[in-house]
Amino acid sequence: MSETPLGAVVVGTGFGLFTHVRALRDAGFAVRAIVGRDLEKTRTRAAPLGIPLAANDLAQVLADDPAIRLVTVATPPHAHYAPVMQAIAAGRAVMCEKPFARDLAQAREMLTAAEAAGVVHTLGAEFRFDSAQALLTRMVQSGAIGEPLMFHRIYQQPGGDPNEPLADWWLDAGQGGGFLGAFGTHMIDQARVTVGEIVAVSTVLRKLSPGRPTQTSDDYYTLQFRTASGCMGLLEAALCFPGPFVMSTKVAGSKGAAWIQSGAAFGDPEQVWVQDAAGARMIEMPPELANPAPAPFPISDLVQTEMDRWHSQGFDVAPYAKLFAQIGAKIAGAEPPLPDRAGDFRDAAANQAILDAARLSHAERRWVDVEAV
């Protein structure tokens, strides 16, 4: 990145504040403003972090400050469209969180606008730069296990208090809430980048938590898939699954298998293993993929809700810093620090097509083909 830091504005005072601001600064950006719906709350949250401007009008912020080169969007999913389109209209690079859009039609609209404007557009798929996930993807793509045949990912989170209030939008399926959108999108993106494009899905969505009686969104999903090459896959995750934490990723191929050996808690150090004709062995982590241990958000007074606690643990910060460094290099026209590709709005639309197909599959209890982007 250039000696003069690229300017950024963060839209969103939850995940945007707890993760984007820290990761942008770690990647060398200057966070020049933060935008939220509630101006007073936005000012209260911006001040302890030394963010120069708190505002509630993104278009005005962009008009007033040409030094802002990147807009990061971390609003609830149903509110992504407006700030993304404002950023594109202002000719700024834009990075948008997932789940990306209300549906595939809206995702296509944002993709088309970004490509027509020629702006840098990126999806918030930060776990592409998680150390173990990135190394596993490299190993599979290198042909180390031959042609991928099966992909399996499972995640069981013991969860917190099932009656702790969550944001209204997260509990509402109509507003893009639920665990499939929040975490399933990461699983879908990891599967796509590791074993190829997903062309059909069969999905079950459920609410398993005994609390939050008004919740219409899911907190459990199981998603079977088939790729264009014929690889079969299974993604399963539960937000509130009593007992020990469980996370596992394994890929079987025509010449062997590769997997991530996870720790006892999310964020613990992980190892990548390969087994082939020569036996099983751990793969050494390349220095450029190694991430520091998560550091919790340092200002405890700003951590006020259950969702704040989710977002303040710091798991996403290091992978996000790598993602922002990739974006910064692209904005500057420089060589990216890593060869691993960041997701863009075309990936976002592809993931959205899978989410749409998964929800239709659940509703109609059948396999559903995924629409091409």
Q: Please indicate, yes or no, if residue 347 is contained in any of the structural domains.
A: no
CATH of the domain at 160: 3.30.360.10
Domain span at residue 256 reads: 131-290+352-369
Q: Based on the domain organization, do 266 and 152 belong to the same domain?
A: yes
Q: Based on the domain organization, do 113 and 39 belong to the same domain?
A: yes
Give the pTM.
0.96
Non-local (6+) Cβ contacts of 72 within 8 A are 8, 9, 10, 11, 12, 16, 20, 24, 94, 95, 96, 124
Q: Please indicate, yes or no, if residue 308 is contained in any of the structural domains.
A: no
Q: Please indicate, yes or no, if residue 16 is contained in any of the structural domains.
A: yes
Non-local (6+) Cβ contacts of 303 within 8 A are 297, 309, 312
Q: Please indicate, yes or no, if residue 297 is contained in any of the structural domains.
A: no
Q: Please indicate, yes or no, if residue 329 is contained in any of the structural domains.
A: yes
Q: Based on the domain organization, do 41 and 91 belong to the same domain?
A: yes
Q: Based on the domain organization, do 234 and 360 belong to the same domain?
A: yes
Q: Please indicate, yes or no, if residue 68 is contained in any of the structural domains.
A: yes
Q: Based on the domain organization, do 87 and 152 belong to the same domain?
A: no
What pLDDT was estimated at residue 98? 97
Q: Please indicate, yes or no, if residue 300 is contained in any of the structural domains.
A: no
Q: Based on the domain organization, do 155 and 284 belong to the same domain?
A: yes
CATH of the domain at 334: 3.40.50.720
Q: For the chain (length 373 residues), average pLDDT per consecutive 10?
A: 86 97 99 98 97 99 99 97 99 98 98 99 98 98 99 91 84 93 97 99 94 91 99 96 92 99 82 97 98 95 90 95 99 98 99 98 99 96
Tally of structural domains, the chain = 2
Q: Based on the domain organization, do 148 and 33 belong to the same domain?
A: no
Q: Based on the domain organization, do 116 and 139 belong to the same domain?
A: no
Instruction: Report the residue count for the chain.
Output: 373
Q: Based on the domain organization, do 113 and 185 belong to the same domain?
A: no
CA–CA separation, 221 and 205 (whole Å): 5
Q: Based on the domain organization, do 321 and 244 belong to the same domain?
A: no
Q: Please indicate, yes or no, if residue 46 is contained in any of the structural domains.
A: yes
Q: Based on the domain organization, do 107 and 234 belong to the same domain?
A: no
Q: Based on the domain organization, do 242 and 320 belong to the same domain?
A: no
Cα distances from 68 to residues 9, 29, 309, 337, in angstroms, run 7, 10, 29, 22
